[in-house]
């Protein structure tokens, strides 16, 4: 009976498991030429829910520490899982150096039920690279001893949660505090069908402003990603009877007739 009870307990935990896209290519310690197209692939690890329950993804190239990786390049910004579990990538040769096993990919997936999950590939080498790494990345890479991927960051929404607008993962970080090539904006609220509120207070607190006294450098951010909305809509057919066409008017013709010679 105790064994049976344990099985029941484990079964209740099964729906809380998360689908984790596991990278199958590039493999650990692989060498990939920079500046040329290659395929990045991933697969379902077999746990529920399936990858079919993930809607969109963004793919980024990282280097440096596994606990605080540095984003170097946005390889795919608007991917959808309905197109398959692979994407062709061309990494510009100037994004970094050719240090052995210095690179790894991060796949941030958005679930249809809300939230995100970010998985990482094993470390690999990009050859023929002509760029240089920042000093902090060089130091972090020197401390790496294997090709293991960083830990998965799971911010999937609880299956029993009623909130569909809560910012998760990278989207939950205050916008002004974000660094890297890509910034993340929280999910935009859906307008109600009627205006009932009278409070005009802003949704978010104001940020500090410091006026520039000299010319500022160009921003380093390449793009801003806004969290996908998870609301649903419904529609129905228009059952109103078809109306007859209006009767043509001869007003214009009568007006023109007045000017005939």
| Domains of the chain with bracketed CATH | 17-158 (2.60.40.10)
Verify cis geometry, omega within 30 degrees of 0, for the bond prior to 179: no
Residues facing residue 88 across a β-bridge: 39
pTM check: above 0.75: no
Cis (ω within 30 of 0) for the bond into 126? no
Q: Which residues pair with 125 in a beta bridge?
A: 31
Contact criterion met (CB below 8 Å) for 154 and 109: no
Q: What is the pLDDT of residue 210?
A: 74
Q: How far is CA 154 from its chain centroid?
A: 13
Three-state SS annotation for 103-123: EEEEEEEEECCCEEEEEECCC
Residue 189 neighbours by CB under 8 Å, 6+ apart: 165, 203
Between CA 169 and CA 116 the distance in angstroms is 6
Alpha-carbon torsion (87, 93, 97, 98), positive or negative: positive
Per-residue pLDDT of the chain (261 residues; tens, 9 = 90+): 444 444 443 443 434 444 578 999 999 999 999 999 999 999 988 765 568 888 889 999 999 999 889 999 999 988 989 888 999 999 999 999 999 999 999 999 888 877 788 999 999 999 999 999 999 999 999 999 999 999 988 887 554 443 433 446 777 777 766 777 888 888 877 777 777 777 777 766 666 677 888 887 777 778 888 887 777 777 778 888 887 776 666 777 778 888 876
Q: Are 129 and 93 in contact (CB under 8 A)?
A: yes
Cα dihedral sign, 212-217-220-223 = positive
């Amino acid at each position: 009976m105790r064994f049976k009870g344990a099985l029941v307990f484990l079964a209740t935990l099964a729906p809380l498991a998360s689908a984790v896209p596991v990278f199958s290519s590039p493999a650990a310690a692989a060498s990939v030429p920079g500046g040329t197209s290659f395929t990045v692939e991933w697969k379902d690890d077999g746990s529920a829910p399936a990858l079919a329950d993930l809607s969109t993804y963004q793919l980024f190239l990282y280097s440096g520490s596994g606990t605080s990786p540095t984003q170097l390049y946005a390889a795919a910004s608007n991917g959808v899982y309905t197109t398959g579990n692979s994407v062709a990538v061309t990494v510009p040769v100037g994004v970094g150096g050719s240090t052995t096993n210095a690179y790894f990919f991060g796949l941030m997936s958005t679930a249809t039920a809300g939230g995100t999950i970010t998985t990482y590939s094993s470390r690999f080498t990009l050859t023929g690279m002509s760029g240089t790494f920042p000093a902090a990345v060089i130091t972090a890479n020197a401390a790496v001893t294997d090709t293991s991927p960083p830990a998965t960051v799971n911010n999937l929404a609880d299956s029993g949660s009623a909130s569909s607008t809560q910012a998760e993962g990278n989207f939950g970080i205050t916008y002004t505090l974000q660094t890297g090539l890509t910034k993340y904006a929280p999910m935009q609220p859906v307008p109600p069908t009627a205006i009932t509120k009278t409070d005009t207070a802003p949704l978010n607190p104001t940020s500090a402003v410091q006026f520039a006294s000299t010319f500022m450098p160009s921003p380093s951010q390449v793009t801003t990603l806004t969290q996908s909305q998870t609301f649903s809509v419904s529609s129905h057919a228009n059952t109103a009877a078809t109306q007859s066409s209006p009767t043509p008017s001869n007003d214009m013709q009568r007006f023109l007739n007045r000017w005939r010679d």
